[in-house]
Amino acid sequence: DQQVKQNSPSLSVQEGRISILNCDYTNSMFDYFLWYKKYPAEGPTFLISISSIKDKNEDGRFTVFLNKSAKHLSLHIVPSQPGDSAVYFCAASGFPGTYKYIFGTGTRLKVLA
Amino acid sequence: ETGVTQSPTHLIKTRGQQVTLRCSSQSGHNTVSWYQQALGQGPQFIFQYYREEENGRGNFPPRFSGLQFPNYSSELNVNALELDDSALYLCASSPGGDGDEQFFGPGTRLTVL
């Protein structure tokens, strides 16, 4: 049972354009969402997070949007840069007393120069 | 500040053997989580340790066990290895407290033949 889904395994975007990565979840108990970026041979690196009490969080070129009614979140990267090429994982949390994350399967982003 | 480190980086074992993977958490972090990432999948939560006590467990059999030491470093032990245990094993530490993101190590690539 995949509680966090990233339905696009890959995405290619031209440098300078917007990258939009999507994530859907099924468990309404999730109350904290995160995006991680992973380069080959490295562990995932935290990128940005959002609490369920917000619908938008922005950090530089990265913005995460949360639509609780649709159980959907998205990560926008503007402008996209070749160094953003990586696998992006969406993760959700909501288990009181623990920090258990449920990850999606990832989207491989390729930013073309 | 030293980040999360894991050892070894790569390991090859045969079916039925036992393996121990090690993780040193980031300085000041008292919580360690272990994840299994199979090829093409997102990380799956195995278990978490908080101040040397198990603090949540995912859907993994008892032959997956762990320890956390007084210095908050941790071990993951897997007994009776199966072919499907071949994966990247990630350790993540966090400082504790609501909403703290987890910081991942580079992982240990385990191959079971």
Quick: pLDDT tens for B20-40: 999 999 888 888 999 999 988
CB of A62 within 8 Å of any CB in chain B? no
* DSSP reduced 3-state for A83: helix
- Identify the pLDDT of residue A41: 83
For residues A11 and A111, give the distance between their C-alpha atoms in angstroms, rounded to a whole number: 8
Q: Which of A73, A72, A71, A74 is nearest to A18 (CA)?
A: A74
- Identify the pLDDT of residue B51: 87
User: Measured between beta carbons, which residues in chain A are less than 8 angstroms from residue B35?
Assistant: 101, 103
Q: Give the Cα-Cα-Cα angle A35, A41, A42 (nearest 5 degrees).
A: 40
- Identify the pLDDT of residue B40: 87
Question: What is the average pLDDT across B62-66?
Answer: 96
Residue A17, both tokens:
């354009």
How confident is residue B1, by pLDDT bands cut at 50, 70 and 90?
low
Q: Please, which residues bridge with residue A42 across strands? A: none
For residues A33 and B62, give the distance between their C-alpha atoms in angstroms, rounded to a whole number: 29
Residue B100 has pLDDT above 80, yes or no: no
Question: What is the average pLDDT across B67-90?
Answer: 96
What whole-number percentage of chain B has pLDDT above 90?
A: 70
Question: What is the average pLDDT across B95-100?
Answer: 63
* Contacts of A100 by beta carbon, 8 Å cutoff, 6+ apart: A93, B33, B45, B48, B56, B58
Q: Which residue ranges of chain A lie beneath pLDDT 50?
A: none
User: Measured between beta carbons, which residues in chain A are less than 8 angstroms from residue B100?
Assistant: 99
User: Measured between beta carbons, which residues in chain B are less than 8 angstroms from residue A105?
Assistant: 40-42
Backbone angles phi, psi at B81, to 5 degrees: -55, 140
Question: What is the average pLDDT across B51-64?
Answer: 91
- Identify the pLDDT of residue A96: 57
